[in-house]
């Protein structure tokens, strides 16, 4: 993730909870099924903003949310992209293996330009899927937990891995890189409070993981619902209601069924519906908030976790780049 500060529910349902699940998944023998890496993509921030005065504080905020949500630094190194120089080295090599026209067809780039009202794209922004490919393949990533909007980037990564392997072979083991597979979350895209396609801090339509119960409810009170349900007893359409989409993720299944039924019949008003939704969300956030307060009170501990993770990441990145140079006959 890019370090833009505190995380919101969209980050949690779209990626973070899936990451934590992969971290803790066991195989048939009771051993960890995956070796997991958690990258703070601070260089990627530069694709949409050259302002870096608050990037360290945003990094600490985001890492704190990761730890509070269950990322375990004993299992998963957490590290900053900018502190492992091999990311930029591999990015440079990969940039020779893909055309500008291919990157211009990336649908996610077009969405970003629209959402951020950008009328021009920099060379770095155009090439950020190539840097993402380096982020993944530097650690020999073979599973990438992503939301649906990131699928085009995983495909670009697969293309680059394939192109490198076709062009260069290691004299001992042949292919240097495996083509990674995406792992999609069930709730990969959470609508914003304003009913827009997704939650986004740039759009101001989020609930933060660090929001307390009263903040969650106050934000939900302003959330977009069914525009045809004007009065409490009017029949509603839960399938078009933003708040009901939150119920589907955060409320228990029996409650979801009764909420849908009572909404359609007019027995449930929007205020009571939002109150129940706020309670469900805050109930899931409660243990995260508790853990977060502990880490937030010890920012030096979070920094030490980053430094340790970066040392771990550098060792692996150096090994991968040695293999790359040998395969290319430049090492």
Q: What mean pLDDT is predicted for residues 19-40?
A: 95
To the nearest whole percent, how much of the chain has pLDDT over 70?
A: 99
* Cα–Cα dist 187/12, whole Å: 9
Give the per-residue SS3 of 98-141.
Answer: CCHHHHHCCHHHHHHHHHCCCCCCCHHHHCHHHHHHHHHHCCCC
| CATH code of the domain containing 31 | 3.40.50.620
- What CATH number is attached to the domain comprising 231? 1.10.240.10
In the chain, the number of structural domains is 2
Domain co-membership, 143 together with 84: yes
Is residue 150 domain-shared with residue 162, that is, in the same domain? Answer: yes
315 and 176 share a domain? Answer: yes
Query: In this structure, is residue 4 part of a structural domain?
Result: no
In terms of domains, do 39 and 74 share one?
yes
Looking at the fold, whether 308 and 289 belong to one and the same domain comes out as: no
pLDDT grade for 187, boundaries at 50, 70 and 90: low
Q: Could you list the residue range(s) of the whole structural domain that residue 274 is in?
A: 201-294
The Cα 8–Cα 313 span in angstroms is: 27
| CA gap 18, 10 in Å, rounded | 12
Kindly state whether residue 58 falls inside one of the protein's structural domains.
yes
Q: Say which residues have a Cβ less than 8 Å from residue 227's Cβ, sequence separation at least 6.
A: none
pLDDT band at 48 (very low <50, low <70, confident <90, very high): confident
Residue 150 pLDDT exceeds 90: no
Average pLDDT rounded to a whole number, residues 191-210: 90
Angle between helices 151-167 and 86-95 (to 10 degrees): 80
Are residues 272 and 321 both part of a single domain?
no
* Mean per-residue pLDDT, 135-142: 97
Residues 179 and 216 in one domain: no
Residue 206 counted as domain residue: yes
Q: Is residue 69 part of a domain?
A: yes
Q: To which H or E segment does residue 68 belong? A: helix 55-69
Q: Does residue 2 lie in a domain region?
A: no
237-285, pLDDT tens digit by residue?
Answer: 999 999 999 999 999 999 999 999 999 999 999 999 999 999 999 999 9
Whether residue 206 sits in one domain with residue 167: no
Cβ-Cβ contacts under 8 Å for 109 (sequence gap 6 or more): 103, 121, 125, 126, 129
Q: CA geometry: angle at 146 spanning 277 and 142, to 5°? A: 145
| Residue 126, phi then psi, degrees to nearest 5 | -60, -40
Q: Is residue 280 part of a domain?
A: yes
pLDDT tens column, 291-326: 999 999 999 999 999 999 999 999 999 999 999 999
User: Are 144 and 18 within one domain?
Assistant: yes
Residue 305's pLDDT is what? 98
pTM comes to 0.92
Reading the block at residue 262, the tokens are: 């009572």
The two tokens of residue 21 are: 């699940």
196 lies in a domain?
Answer: no
| Whether residue 145 sits in one domain with residue 225 | no
Same-domain pairing of 28 and 167: yes
169 belongs to a structural domain: yes
| Mean pLDDT across the chain | 94
- Do residue 324 and residue 178 come from a single domain? yes
Q: What is the pLDDT of residue 206?
A: 96
The string over 104-132, giving b where at least 16 C-beta atoms fall within 10 Å of a residue's C-beta and e elsewhere, is eebeebeebeeeeeeeebeeebebbbbbb
30 class by beta-carbon count within 10 Å (0-12 exposed, 13-18 middle, 19+ buried): exposed
More confident residue, 202 or 78: 78
DSSP state of 59: H
């Amino acid at each position: 993730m890019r370090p833009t500060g505190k995380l919101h529910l969209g980050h949690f349902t779209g990626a973070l909870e899936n990451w934590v699940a992969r971290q803790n998944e066991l195989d048939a023998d009771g051993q960890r099924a995956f070796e997991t890496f958690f990258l703070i993509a601070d260089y990627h921030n530069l694709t949409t903003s050259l302002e870096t005065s608050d990037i360290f504080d945003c990094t600490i905020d985001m890492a704190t949310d990761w730890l509070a949500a269950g990322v375990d630094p004993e299992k998963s190194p957490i590290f900053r992209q900018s502190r492992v120089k091999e990311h930029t080295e591999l990015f440079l090599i990969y940039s020779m293996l893909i055309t500008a026209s291919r990157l211009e067809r990336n649908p996610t780039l077009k969405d970003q330009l629209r959402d951020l009202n950008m009328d021009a794209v920099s060379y770095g922004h155009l090439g950020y899927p190539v840097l993402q490919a380096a982020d993944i393949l530097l650690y020999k990533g073979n599973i990438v937990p992503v939301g649906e909007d990131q699928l085009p980037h995983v495909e670009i990564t697969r293309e680059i891995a394939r192109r490198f392997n076709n062009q260069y072979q290691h004299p001992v083991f042949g292919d240097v890189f495996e083509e990674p597979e995406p792992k999609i979350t069930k709730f990969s895209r959470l609508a914003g409070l304003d009913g827009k396609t997704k939650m986004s801090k740039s759009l101001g339509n989020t609930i933060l993981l660090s929001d307390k119960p009263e903040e969650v409810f106050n934000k939900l009170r302003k959330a977009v619902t069914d525009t045809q349900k004007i009065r409490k007893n009017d029949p509603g359409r839960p399938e078009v209601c933003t708040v009901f989409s939150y119920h589907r993720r955060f409320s228990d299944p029996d409650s979801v069924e009764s909420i849908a039924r009572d909404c359609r019949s007019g027995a449930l008003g929007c205020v009571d519906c939002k109150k129940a939704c706020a309670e469900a969300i805050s109930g899931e956030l409660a243990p995260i908030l508790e853990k977060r307060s502990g880490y937030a009170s010890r920012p030096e501990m979070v920094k030490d976790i980053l430094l340790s993770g970066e040392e771990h990441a550098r060792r692996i990145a150096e090994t991968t780049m040695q293999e790359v140079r040998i395969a290319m006959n430049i090492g």
